[in-house]
Amino acid sequence: QITLKESGPTLVKPTQTLTLTCTFSEFSLRTTGVGVGWIRQSPGEALEWLALIYWNDDKRYSPSLRSRLTITKDTSKNQVVLTMTNMDPVDTATYYCAHGTDYFNYWGQGTLVTVSS
């Protein structure tokens, strides 16, 4: 059973950098065709795709957030890390990591990140 779990701070201050870690099990990012993505959801709002990393280290970013995002993987730890710089209150959201490429078939439970001074 594939599982993913997000971890990181629940509160960050404006202008700070957010670092979130997705720890997963029962699949490997060494396997051809595998990808892990990050999606967020502001309170009461729709899902928004942020970034995705493939098994071959190819990376894709949302055009509107590209300058602020970095996604990396640590295959030995089964982790994917997302960093987002210059956090703003509008970035307050639940951040999810998910397994998949064309579509996301397994999701983490999500982690709520609040941006406030």
Partner 1 sequence: QSVLTQPPSVSGAPGQRVTISCTGSSSNIGADYDVHWYQQLPGTAPKLLIFLNSNRPSGVPDRFSGSKSATSASLAITGLQAEDEADYYCQSYDTSLSGWVFGGGTSLTVL
18, 20, 61, 91: which one binds partner 1 (CB under 8 A)? 61
Nearer to partner 1 by Cβ, of 13 and 66: the residue is 66
Q: Which residues of 64-94 are buried (b: 16+ CB within 10 A; e: fewer)?
A: ebeebbebebeeeebbbbbebeebeeebbbb
The residues in 14-53 that bind partner 1, with binding defined as CB under 8 A, are: 37, 39, 46-49, 52
55, 69, 87, 110: which one binds partner 1 (CB under 8 A)? 110
Number of amino acids touching partner 1 (CB under 8 A)? 21
